Amino acid sequence: YRKKGDKYVVYDHKIINKFDPKHETIFPRMHSKQGNHIEAYLRWAKLPRGKKPTMKDNLYFFFRYQIGHMYLRYFFWNFAGRESDIQDADWLRPWDSTKGMPDSLSMNKARNQFFMLPFILGILGLFYQYNKDKNGTLIVGMLWFLTGIAMIMYLNQPPTEPRERDYIFAGSTYAFAFWIGFGVLALADLLQNFLKKDVLRYGVSTLACLAVPGIMAAEGWDDHSRANRWHSVDSAKNLLNSCDKNAVLFTGGDNDTFPLWYVQEVEGFRTDVRVCNLSLLNTDWYIEQMKRQAYYSDPLPISLEFDNFIQGKNDYLPFVEKPALKGGMYLKQYLKMIKENNRELMVQLQNGGEISTLPTNILALNVDTHAVNEMKIVPNNRKMFVVNKMVWDIGQKALEKKDLIMLDMIATNEWKRPIYFSTTLGNDNYLNLREYMQMEGLAYRLLPAKVPGATDGYVNTDIMYERMMKGYAWRNLDNPNIYYDENQRRFPLNLRSSFYRLAEELVMEQKNDKAKEVIHFCLAKLPDNTIPYDYFTPRFVPLLLQIGDEKTAMDICKVMGERADQELAYFTVNRKKANNQEIEINLYVLNQIVSSLRQFNKNEQAKVYEDIFKKYESNYQQ
């Protein structure tokens, strides 16, 4: 219900699923209907496809994944040791060694070996408290249980996560740490028969137990220090500096948006740019916020009224094709019909309600080419691509509310404000408009100029070169003493991709010297010893060979080829440690190297990496 005038009215009907009792069970664990979750359930519960999970299967998943993988693994990370910072890394046993392990794991700064000493001390403390104070033990035990295993039972975690979730169980970790403190007293009691003086006994036990936090500090300091790590701030500033004045910037998830909010709200940096988070643009309150002034940013050009996007209204607009509109319709006409709740767009639902639809996948928007030329927003070398009418297949089976609002902004704006899309967005968020998008750094700018076939947008080398080579900040990305965990290392992948796009376009423009400068700048600012080469890096090899820089190309091949050989050899012997994605990436890297070398007739060098590829490809096909 929502208040409207002097009364409350129903504005949204919540749908509650009612399941067939035949498919219900006590303590259900496998609940999600998402496709990727179903695959993960089958894998973790070792179920054949099509088999209905029994209670036994649910319990097996609960103990193997939810307790074992998502709680005990995290628990032992803190009190026994951690294998690495790579997602799904195991905990370390005291006898685990680095023999035969690739450098990416053995030299990983997050490989922390505590020899289970904190755990042992905690168990001693648990028994000590139980003998001294059973009620106190119950209180600490309940705190440990309720902030750990009980949370798993209540939240019923899905079988996949985008990142590690160990922070969820911080309370449970704190509770066990109480017992580590009592472990010092337990050790003092054990020394009672050897040291009679209390001061001496407690002093010796305290000094002995200091080894535990000492080992934890020595092992864990380098991967817990955030000192001089500026990339989250710099990446936000670089993204904002990819935009012209008074721009609208569409972003996706937290990793993009939170740093942007920080630099704008705290540092007052580029407050003329309006950050528009697409994850939030499905909510009415956020759309209303976007329609207000914020710092130096004018309200966003949204013509739809609150009643058009109130929660429950136009949340989802399914594609229901109308034969009369098979050739498409004008976007402004469609938005007008949405505003008017035109019944031509309506379809009836099973519950008796009605919703608006998307009647065609093909949309059109007229362009005032005279006004566009006056604004000088299209570079001279792209003016032949300016269109008087944008026509595109939106390529979606349905629109979400955020898509509707984005289309409204594009139509209402009429090119008065620059509209940018972050390069890190998922493909669906570009509304199939990439042929109209110009890459200007870490963002695409929407323009009324269509380059046919530019399915990943087209590059403006002049703007992009100035911004990436001179305008961006790259503090400490080249410093091997700074720790970048797996999540921190993911974002620079986009930087390498952007550098590659710029270098590739420069080569196409026959500006080989500039292309070489860009590649060397990228390799210097994002060196392998701080941000390890990734699956984007082999793409530089054919470019380098094309511009005559064989040495740098071969250096990349050597580093990546040897690493792939190491990692695949380790995974072949240690199948339980194998990660399918890492295996696929390493095989892809080797294949890319071979293809690039063959392309430039470097057959002798190519055979070295081809032999490695064939050896492991056959291993993983068996």
9 pLDDT higher than 90: no
460 pLDDT higher than 70: yes
pLDDT score recorded for residue 269:
97
Strand ranges for 44-111 from DSSP E = 81-82
pLDDT score recorded for residue 403:
96
Tell me: the pLDDT tens digits for 166-201?
A: 999 999 999 999 999 999 888 888 777 777 677 777
Residue 32 — very low, low, confident or very high, per pLDDT cuts 50/70/90? Answer: confident
Dihedral of alpha carbons 64, 67, 71, 76, sign: negative
Amino acid at 280: L
Residue 18 — very low, low, confident or very high, per pLDDT cuts 50/70/90? Answer: confident
Mean pLDDT of all residues in 524-536: 94
Q: Alpha-carbon dihedral of residues 585, 591, 597, 601, nearest 10 degrees?
A: -170
**21 exposure class (CB count in 10 Å sphere: 0-12, 13-18, 19+):** exposed
Run of H or E including 152:
helix 149-155
Tokens 């905690």, residue located: 122
Q: By mean pLDDT, which of 104-113, 488-497, 499-508, 526-535 is the weakest?
A: 488-497
Tokens 């580590």, residue located: 180
Dihedral of alpha carbons 249, 251, 256, 261, sign: positive
622 pLDDT higher than 60: no
pLDDT score recorded for residue 574:
83
pLDDT score recorded for residue 33:
84
Q: By mean pLDDT, which of 271-275, 346-350, 494-498, 596-600 is the weakest?
A: 346-350
| Distances in whole angstroms, Cα of residue 335 to Cα of each of 294, 314, 343 | 26, 12, 13
Strands 354-356 and 112-113: unpaired
143 pLDDT higher than 80: yes
Tell me: the pLDDT tens digits for 494-512?
A: 899 999 999 999 999 999 9
pLDDT score recorded for residue 201:
72
Residue 11 — very low, low, confident or very high, per pLDDT cuts 50/70/90? Answer: low
All structural domains of the chain with their residue ranges: 55-224, 231-465, 476-621
Residues in a beta bridge with 358: 319
CA distance 350 to 97: 61
Torsion angles phi and psi, residue 192, rounded to 5: -60, -35
Q: State pTM to two decimals.
A: 0.90
Tell me: the pLDDT tens digits for 302-313?
A: 999 998 999 888
Run of H or E including 403:
helix 401-413
Run of H or E including 392:
strand 389-393
Torsion angles phi and psi, residue 568, rounded to 5: -70, -35
CA 118 to chain centre: 33
> Tokens representing 578?
């194998």
CA distance 258 to 535: 26
Whose CA is closest to 251, among 303, 284, 286?
A: 286
3-class SS at 43?
Answer: helix
Dihedral of alpha carbons 318, 321, 327, 329, sign: negative
CA distance 241 to 442: 9
Run of H or E including 410:
helix 401-413
440 pLDDT higher than 90: yes
CA distance 89 to 338: 50
Tell me: the pLDDT tens digits for 372-425?
A: 999 999 999 899 999 999 999 998 789 999 999 999 999 999 999 999 999 999
Torsion angles phi and psi, residue 446, rounded to 5: -75, 125
Residue 13 — very low, low, confident or very high, per pLDDT cuts 50/70/90? Answer: low
pLDDT score recorded for residue 561:
96
264 pLDDT higher than 60: yes
> Tokens representing 283?
């909510």
pLDDT score recorded for residue 448:
97
Whose CA is closest to 156, among 168, 141, 173?
A: 168
pLDDT score recorded for residue 486:
86
What does 535-568 look like in DSSP terms, one character per residue?
TTGGGHHHHHHHTT-HHHHHHHHHHHHHHHHHHH
Higher pLDDT, 13 or 601: 601
146 pLDDT higher than 90: yes
pLDDT score recorded for residue 319:
92
